[in-house]
Structure 1
Amino acid sequence: MNIFEASFLAAVLTATTPVVLAALGGLICQVAGVFNIALEGQLLWGAFTAVVFSHLTGSAWAGVVGAMIVTLVYAAVLSLASVTFRADPIVVAVGTNLLALGLTAFLMRQIFGSGGTYSSPDLAGLPTLAELGLDVPVLGSQSPLVLLAFVLVAVVGWWLRRTRSGLRLRGIGQHQAAAAALGLKVGGYRHGVVLAAGALCGLAGAQLALGNVTLFSEGMSAGRGWVAVVAVMLGGVLPWRVLLACLLFGVAEAVGFRLQGVGLPQQAADSAPYVITLFALILAGVAARRRPKEIS
């Protein structure tokens, strides 16, 4: 297996992109001091709404925009509960994850008239970059959202380091009381990042349902939102480190697909990315414990 083969690298990008987009949402929440584990449900909700809007309008781009808006509204549940009413964000996030799983299965039967998987020749998928005129190796076979995801990693990193609002957000996450004493609207910033994370998860869901494939299947997020949470835990508040953690998942998934071709059972191949991600998290935890503690 040649890991530098164009088709393998393309498979890595395809697998990585939804996770990167969701993880960027988790990262900006983490910077603001909000541990967001609602990414799984929001990603699934984004995939479902992208397919619904694409089905109703015949436009993949309407699916992308619709997924971002509707998932942002869905994220408002977490924002209002955890920021305004000070509910436990972990409990609320688990609830929204379970709600998304059940609600998408229910609405799928109401809208499409069947459960399981919805796929139709009339369902509009995202065009590739080659179809839009950017016919280059590896990237040419990808949707524009793949390129956008990597651009956003750089943009978020620049924003957090170089802009006033980014620096204020970091200050809120590091010391909420001091930030509030300086007159910063802590609640407003936190509402903003939780809603922005919802929009990013909607974008991730649109890529998953209309870019990676052109269909919706019940539970198709398949743990990618949880992998995004792990990527944030591994990468901290550094976007490039979060990207590397997501690429680890993408490489593992691409390898799993290749191994299926040589006879590895599908279940083993499908579990490989999650096993490797979990192993990386364990190693990171062990390494963190071995670092010498700072003397206060």
Structure 2
Amino acid sequence: MDFISAFMVNSTVQAITPILLAALAGCLCGRVGVFNIAMEGQLLIGAFCAVAGSHYTGSAALGVAAALVGTVVFSLILAYGATVFRGDAVVICIGMNLLAAGLTAYLLRQLFGVSGVFSDPNIAELAKIRISSIQSIPWLGWIVSRQTVLTYLCWALTAIVAYVLFRTPVGLRMRGVGEDPEAAQSMGVDVRRYRVVTVLVAGALTGLGGAQLSLGTVGIFSEGMSAGRGWIAVVAVMLGRDNPLLAALACVLFGIADALSVKLQSQGLPNQLTDIVPYVVTLAALVVSYRRKRDRRPASAEAAAA
């Protein structure tokens, strides 16, 4: 059995994209002290808005724009709920996830008269970029030359987010807001504004992930199609400790697991079994991370005592 193939690697890169974009959003929110676990709902809103925009306009680019606008508007709930109204971010995010699931299902029936899955020839999918100079090269052509623009963009955004966070004054202020908001406020930093703007920017990133999920992969919308990817992104953020580069490495692991589940299903295994592969890998990563942290604690305690 040709288990590892160029097609599987291509699928892995595609699977990483929405998770990585959501993880970048989580890293940004974490750096300003907002614990964002609403990425599941934000991905779903982005996917729905992308399909709706593409269907009504016939343009994939306008579909992506609709995903950006829709997810940013949806993110206002967290941006103002957790800052201006000082609500509990975790409670707000759980409510947003539930709202996204119910709202997209309701709008699917109201706008398109269907339930479950919406598929239509008028939906313009994101084109795969084919680079003629490397397209014929085995493996490399499949990996690099057959991706959407959002896949290339997500890796560029990873570098940009890391640079902004760790190499610019804006990033320094963002980290200060998250680590000690009172000290940042005393230095003249508008903590509330930084948090609101960051959450909205994070919403835009997750909207791009939702657009990739619906227009870049399958060209349809189905209820609950985020399928836990937002929660996997939350785990990637936790494993990466709000560092976008480390979170990206975690996303690669989860993307491989996602593509592996699809490969196993194509080999005849029941989907009830293959669908759990990404979540098993996620739980295993959390267990390993926890054990490593626990093993370090005695050494650090002894060093502190000395």
Could you tell me how far 1:134 is from its partner in structure 2?
7.8
What is the match of residue 258 of structure 1? Answer: 263
Q: Are 1:147 and 2:181 counterparts?
A: no
Alpha carbons of structure 1 residues 52 and 34: separation in structure 2 relative to 1, 3 Å:
same
Q: Are 1:163 and 2:168 counterparts?
A: yes
Could you tell me how far 1:23 is from its partner in structure 2?
0.7
Could you tell me how far 1:112 is from its partner in structure 2?
0.6
Alpha carbons 1:55, 1:122 under 8 Å: kept: yes
Q: Are 1:277 and 2:282 counterparts?
A: yes
Could you tell me how far 1:172 is from its partner in structure 2?
1.3
Superposed CA offset, 1:132-181 (max 9, x none): 99844412221110010111111111111111101111111111111111
Q: Are 1:205 and 2:223 counterparts?
A: no
Give TM-score, length-normalised by structure 1.
Answer: 0.96
Between the aligned partners of 2:154 and 2:186, the Cα distance in structure 1 is: 36
Superposed CA offset, 1:218-243 (max 9, x none): 00001100101110000012211101
Alignment of 1:236-255 (within 5 A): 236-255=241-260
Superposed CA offset, 1:201-226 (max 9, x none): 11000000000110000000011001
Superposed CA offset, 1:87-113 (max 9, x none): 101111111110000000000001111
Alpha carbons of structure 1 residues 151 and 134: separation in structure 2 relative to 1, 3 Å:
farther
Alignment of 1:41-120 (within 5 A): 41-120=41-120
Could you tell me how far 1:263 is from its partner in structure 2?
2.5
Alpha carbons 2:54, 2:122 under 8 Å: kept: no
Report the RMSD for the aligned CA atoms in angstroms: 1.7
Could you tell me how far 1:114 is from its partner in structure 2?
0.6
Between the aligned partners of 1:244 and 1:3, the Cα distance in structure 2 is: 22
Q: Are 1:21 and 2:21 counterparts?
A: yes
Could you tell me how far 1:259 is from its partner in structure 2?
1.3
Could you tell me how far 1:262 is from its partner in structure 2?
2.4
Between the aligned partners of 2:30 and 2:251, the Cα distance in structure 1 is: 16
Q: Are 1:181 and 2:212 counterparts?
A: no
Aligned AA (2:105): A
Alpha carbons 1:12, 1:253 under 8 Å: kept: yes
Alpha carbons 2:26, 2:242 under 8 Å: kept: no
Between the aligned partners of 1:82 and 1:161, the Cα distance in structure 2 is: 25
Q: Are 1:235 and 2:268 counterparts?
A: no
Give TM-score, length-normalised by structure 2.
Answer: 0.93
Alpha carbons 2:54, 2:124 under 8 Å: kept: yes
Aligned AA (1:74): F
Between the aligned partners of 2:69 and 2:56, the Cα distance in structure 1 is: 16
Superposed CA offset, 1:26-49 (max 9, x none): 000001111101111011000000
Could you tell me how far 1:4 is from its partner in structure 2?
6.0
Could you tell me how far 1:120 is from its partner in structure 2?
1.2
What is the match of residue 138 of structure 2? Answer: none
Between the aligned partners of 2:9 and 2:3, the Cα distance in structure 1 is: 7
What is the match of residue 219 of structure 1? Answer: 224
Between the aligned partners of 1:97 and 1:4, the Cα distance in structure 2 is: 35
Between the aligned partners of 2:176 and 2:196, the Cα distance in structure 1 is: 16
Aligned AA (1:142): Q
Q: Are 1:122 and 2:127 counterparts?
A: no
Could you tell me how far 1:8 is from its partner in structure 2?
1.6
Q: How many residues align?
A: 296
What secondary structure is seen at the aligned counterpart in 2 of 1:11?
A: helix
